[in-house]
Structure 1
């Protein structure tokens, strides 16, 4: 039996583990990182980091205290980060490193483990970030096409 606990409740333990050189794993919740992270049992492993680079997946704390796991899409000259969920279009600007709890090193899905250093994962991430400005057009068009097809199939079955 497992119990779901909010990250806020575990933060002091997480911080202690990460500061002592350990790792922390948890199941991310929500859909903002789809399709990279799914809400149906994916697990991530994070470690402490001194700096982030483009494409990293940091766990950070917003000023309102909420924990967020999104992707770095650029690093600013002042050392802050511009971050966005893989399933989102709005960029969160100027996230400070002091807000960063850790960075994802590994993704676990259905018994398989994927390192963020895997070359295929890196190619996927570069592509996914590159098409960010047009994803909503691409996928919005695909959704409309699917809807139109399903509507026509429904009419033929009547």
Structure 2
């Protein structure tokens, strides 16, 4: 099947309708913010409707107030808003409301392999990755210092 690039803003309403009716929507996300787990051009993600309860480590497609679409992982909740961070990032994004969220990733398709994101293996990996951000930040800083010498 031939792939073609379509901007999410062009099909946002269609995606929302499909998910609201219990369907699924798959696409190839762009960008590097979710590496190493989701790699642009290699991995396809499948979205489903948001569950009643959004959990820490869920991967959610949401829309920022400036109109940008973002696929990031939930790292926490504060009052009535959620905290998100890309796996390849070190800073949290605060204040994302449920109304901004479009769908939750249920699986990653990598070639012939289907990776369900709600299985115990993935949730353990996600917990490790999210909770070691400080150490990864220190490692990155040290590598930069070595390059400067």
* TM-score > 0.5 by shorter chain: yes
For structure 2, the 5+ residue unaligned runs are: none
Instruction: Answer 1 or 2: which has greater strand percent.
Output: 2
Per-residue deviation, 1:51: 3.2
Q: Within 5 Å, give how 1:86-125 maps onto structure 2.
A: 86-125=87-126
**How many aligned residue pairs are there?**
146
Per-residue deviation, 1:111: 1.5
Q: Within 5 Å, give how 1:8-157 maps onto structure 2.
A: 8-49=9-50, 50-76=52-78, 78-141=79-142
Q: Give the structure with higher Rg (CA).
A: 1
Contact 1:51 1:97 survives alignment (8 Å): no
Hey, which bits of structure 1, 4+ residues long, moved more than 6 A?
none
What SS class does the counterpart of residue 58 from structure 1 fall into? Answer: strand
For structure 1, the 5+ residue unaligned runs are: 149-158
**Range 46-55 or range 107-116, more displaced:** 46-55
With structure 2 as the length reference, what TM-score do the two structures score?
0.90
Per-residue deviation, 1:41: 2.1
With structure 1 as the length reference, what TM-score do the two structures score?
0.86
